[in-house]
Amino acid sequence: MFKRVNKLLIELPAPEYGDANAAAAVQELLGGKFGEMSTLNNYMYQSFNFRQKGKLKPFYDIVASITAEEFGHVELVSNTINLLQKGSSFTAEPDLTPLQNGKDMRNTYAFIATAQTSLAGDSMGNPWRGDYVFSSGNLVLDLMHNFFLEIGARTHKMRVYEMTDHPTAREMIGYLLVRGGVHVLAYAKALEIATGVDLTKMLPIPSLDNRVFDHARKYEDQGVGNVLFTWSDGDYQDIRAIWKGTNPSNGQPLVVQEGTPEGAPIPDLDDLPEEFAPGIGKDEYEQILKRLRANM
Ligand code: MN
Ligand code: MN
C-alpha cells in the first residue's frame, strides 16, 4: 500500500511570469515515453509482478522503493507545469475573449480541458500509454530496461533544459537530473550484482556531468546525488545491499536514508474565474461553510 505525504520534494520558485509554451515542452517529462509517468508505472508494475520477492529481496526493494520516489517526481513535474501557466489568460466577461492567448499556444488542450494545468500526455499532446510499461518478469531484462529508461529520461531532461530558461522549469529539471543520476547508478549497481558486469564504466550517458547545468550543481553540492531513500517507515531495508560503496562520478560515499526527504510546501493555485475553476464564488463558499459547520 501507499502512504501519501502532502509535500513537494523540493521548493519550486514562485514564477514572476508564465510561459505556456514552456509548460507544453515540460509535458514531455511528465507524460512522454521517457517521462515520470513511465518510470512510475514501469517500476510499479514490475514491483507488483515480481517473483521470488523474498529470495531476491534487494532487487525487489530497489524497484519498489524507487516506485515511491517516481510518484513524487510525477507530482513535482505536474506542479511545475501548473506554475508555468501563470498569467496565460485574464479575468473578464466571456465576450471579451479572456482565453484568447490560449488560441495561439502550442497546447490549446490545456486551456480547454484542464483549466491550464497538467495533462497525462506528452509535449505533442499524445496521451500517456500503458504500452510504455515493460514488465517482462525476467529480472536482468527488467533491470536493463530500467537502466535504459533512466538514461533516456536523463537525455530528455537535458534537452528540455536547453529549450527553456524559465527558472521554475530549470529548478525542477536540475533536481531531477541529479535524482535521475541516482537511479541510473542504482540500476547499474543492481545489474552488476545480478550479472558481474560493471555498467558504471559506461556512465554518464550522454557523457556530460550534471555539474554542467547551473540548476543541478546546487543539488550535487548538497550531496543529493549520493542518497537513496527507503520511502518507508521500516520496509525496503535491503536496498543497502545494492546502494553501497562510492559514487563513481564524485568519489563520495553512497548513503541510504530511511524515509523520505524533508520536502517543501505544495504550491496553491489561485482561482481562475475565466476557466470557471474551481467555480466556487463568494456566495457559494459561504453556503459550503454553513453546510460544513452543520455537519460537525
Ligand atoms: Mn523520475
Ligand atoms: Mn528515476
What span, in angstroms and rounded, lies between the C-alpha atoms of 207 and 224? 20
Q: Is residue 9 domain-resident?
A: no
Write the CATH number for 274: 1.20.1260.10
CA 129 to centroid of ligand 2, rounded, Å: 18
The per-residue pLDDT for range 61-109, each reduced to its tens digit, is 999 999 999 999 999 999 999 999 999 999 999 999 999 999 999 999 9
Domain presence at residue 197: yes
49: its cell numbers: 509482478
In-domain check, residue 14: no
> Could you tell me what percent of the chain has a pLDDT over 90?
99
Whether 274 has a binding-site annotation, put simply, is no
Closest ligand to Cα 184: 2
pLDDT band at 188 (very low <50, low <70, confident <90, very high): very high
Instruction: Look at the block and give the residue holding cell 475553476.
Output: 277
Q: What is the CA radius of gyration of the chain?
A: 21
Question: Distance, CA 39 to ligand 2 centroid (Å)?
Answer: 6
Domain that holds residue 290: 20-294
Query: What's the 126 CA to ligand 2 centre distance in angstroms?
Result: 22
Would the pLDDT of 295 be above 80?
A: no
Whether pTM > 0.85 for this model: the answer is yes
36 belongs to an annotated ligand binding site: yes
* C-alpha 279 to ligand 2 mean position (Å): 36
Distance 70 CA to ligand 2 centre (A): 6
Residue 69 lies in a domain: yes
Instruction: Compute the distance from residue 76 Cα to the ligand 2 centre, in Å.
Output: 13
Say if residue 204 is preceded by a cis peptide, omega within 30 of 0: yes
169 C-alpha to ligand 1 centroid (Å): 15
> Is residue 183 marked as binding?
yes
What band does 148 get if pLDDT is binned at 50, 70 and 90?
Answer: very high
Ligand number nearest CA of 71 is 1
- Helices 139-163 and 20-31, packing angle to 10 deg: 170
| Domain-located, residue 182 | yes
DSSP assignment string, 85-145: TTTSS----GGG-TTHHHHTSS-HHHHHHSSS---SB-TTSPBP-GGG----S-HHHHHHH
Predicted pLDDT of residue 120: 98
Question: Which pLDDT belongs to residue 293?
Answer: 95
Asked, for residue 7, whether it belongs to a domain, the answer is no
pLDDT at residue 137, as a whole number: 98
Mean pLDDT calculated for residue range 200-212: 96
Question: What's the mean pLDDT in 250-258?
Answer: 98
Q: For the chain, how many structural domains are there in total?
A: 1
pLDDT for 218: 97
Mean of pLDDT over the chain: 97
For residue 177, how far is its CA from the centre of ligand 2 (angstroms)?
9
> Is 150 domain-assigned?
yes
What DSSP designation does 264 have?
Answer: B
What does the block give as the cell for 106?
502550442
61 is in an annotated binding site: yes
Domain assignment present for 88: yes
Could you tell me the pLDDT band of residue 46, with boundaries at 50, 70 and 90?
very high
